[in-house]
Structure 1
Amino acid sequence: MRQLPIADRPREKLLYRGERFLSDAELIAIIIRTGSEKRTALHLAQELIRRFGDLRGLANRSAQELSTIKGIGKAKAAQIKAAFEIATRLITRPLTQGIKVSSGEDIYLNYKERFRYAKREFFIAILLDSGNKIIKDVEVSIGSLTQSIVTPREAFTEAIRESAANIIFVHNHPSGSSKPSDEDIAVTKKLKETADIVGIRMLDHIIVSVDSYASFADEGLL
């Protein structure tokens, strides 16, 4: 990096001009800090962007995938993943224990960022007390790109254990559309039937995509 003029070095450029003037590769170079024996941090960052397309593609890769780039070991891969996780937490509205859920939008604003780079469908159960305050959320299952596999038994196990009074289910559509599929409707019907049997009130099933969400309760599908 020393062969670059001081004003063009990523760290100095950020300090003198501001972070908005840096390219994606320059920002990544600051995160990984050092280069390898033959390549600078900026060269490594440029290779990461070239290989994975853009910041979104980079964020969507595991630490193991990142470390396949020559010069990016486990430490640098961990630094990159940590930076993206910090960004996600900053823009995610936390639904922590004791917080009252008032609407489907509350759920959407939290989970859209959590699912933004997900390649597969994640099925989540949000356990609530009788006042609709969060007890905890539970990852019930992980499916494929177009399908989340969940059974009523899996969906309600933790809710019964925690003596939840109410429950909301959430899953994402990596395809980008939040429109419920026929399978989503069928699964929701089974979950509602099970909820009635075990005495837990099912308040909603929400499908989340990056730009929109669908609420079964709002659409009268429960």
Structure 2
Amino acid sequence: MSIKFLAEDDRPREKFLLKGKNSLSDSELLAIIMGSGSRDETAVELARRILSSVNNNWHQLSLLSIKDLMKFKGVGEVKAISITTALEIGRRRASQEIPEKPVISNSHNAYQIFRNHLSDLRTEEFWAAFLNQSNKVIHLAQLTQGGINQSIVDVRILFKTALDHFSTGVVIAHNHPSGNLKPSREDIEITQKIREAGKLLNIQLLDHLIITQNSYFSFSDDGLL
């Protein structure tokens, strides 16, 4: 019996989408991994039976071999491999350290993040770092790629990206391939436009950097924000 034939409240995939992953029981998670049950029982019932055999312990389940899993009626080689693969992914994830997110607390921090992307380019690009309330970078993105002299950013795209990542702060940057650090009239205008748009959304523009091969200019440091 496939998951799609279950009562709506019992469909793990639909429940996942409606209520989130934390709402799922262990058996529902395992049912999603397997994808289907058998003629005699649903995927959730099969998952519940498998977990019950190992005292509902994921660590014990991970000790079962492909052949061990295939001893359960309704579990073929494909399901057994899917279960083992998911558990192996979990094991590898647990063994890895969570990478520390960089913090932008001043213009130099921002320059260190952007310079590898912008300092040696022959055409202009516009980038943005999206920050959380602790000023940690949660997303870094190239927003536009322009010609020799200019790169125009769409403010709507910038703030859509910020909202998608629940950002509370933004640092923007673009490069001047000419090596001139002085902001142009267009640079000043787009900075003010982004700052004012951010106020409406309660997303603060913290700085705008102009980057050349060996140095940078900060709107914040120069009192232009």
Q: Give the TM-score normalised by structure 1.
A: 0.54
Structure 1 residues 97 and 148, CA gap change in structure 2 (3 angstroms): farther
**SS of corresponding position for 1:111:** helix
- Structure 1 segments unaligned to the other structure (5+ residues): 1-95
- For residues 138-149 of structure 1, the aligned pairs below 5 Å read 138-149=141-152
- 8 Å contact from structure 1 (residues 120, 142) kept in 2: yes
State the alpha-carbon separation in 2 of the partners of residues 99 and 112 from structure 1: 14
The aligned residue for residue 159 of structure 1 is 162
- Select which of 204, 212, 216 maps to 2:215: 212
Q: RMSD of the TM alignment (CA)?
A: 1.4
Q: Do residues 183 (structure 1) and 186 (structure 2) align?
A: yes
CA contact (8 A) 2:129 2:140 kept: yes
Asked whether 1:170 is paired with 2:136, we answer: no
> Contact between 1:97 and 1:134, CA under 8 Å: does it hold in 2?
no
The match for 2:105 is 102
Q: Could you tell me how far apart the structure 2 residues matched to 1:101 and 1:116 are?
A: 18
Offset at residue 97 of structure 1 (A): 6.0
Partner of 1:196: 199
Q: Which has the larger radius of gyration?
A: 2
Cα distance in 2 between the residues matched to 1:132 and 1:219 = 20
Aligned residue for 2:213, secondary structure, equals coil
Aligned residues: 127
Question: What is the distance in 2 between the residues matched to 1:137 and 1:99?
Answer: 11
What is the percentage of aligned positions where both structures have the same residue?
A: 35
Whether the 8 Å CA contact 1:116–1:210 is kept in 2: the answer is yes
Q: Please give the alpha-carbon distance, in whole angstroms, between the structure 1 residues aligned to 2:103 and 2:221.
A: 18
2:126 aligned residue: 123
Q: Unaligned 5+ residue runs, structure 2?
A: 1-98
Q: One-letter code of the match for 1:144?
A: G
Match of 1:221 in 2: 224
> Which letter maps to 1:159?
A
Q: CA 1:196/1:212 → structure 2, altered by over 3 Å: closer, same or farther?
A: same
Q: Residue 165 of structure 1 aligns to which amino acid in structure 2?
A: T
Could you list the per-position Cα deviations for residues 48-67 of structure 1 after superposition, in whole angstroms to 9, with x for gaps in the alignment?
xxxxxxxxxxxxxxxxxxxx
> CA 1:220/1:127 → structure 2, altered by over 3 Å: closer, same or farther?
same
CA deviation vs aligned residue, 1:106-165 (integer Å, no higher than 9, x gap): 222332232233111111110000010110111111111110111210221110111101
> Deviation digits for residues 80-124 of structure 1, max 9, x if unmatched?
xxxxxxxxxxxxxxxx76211121112223322322331111111
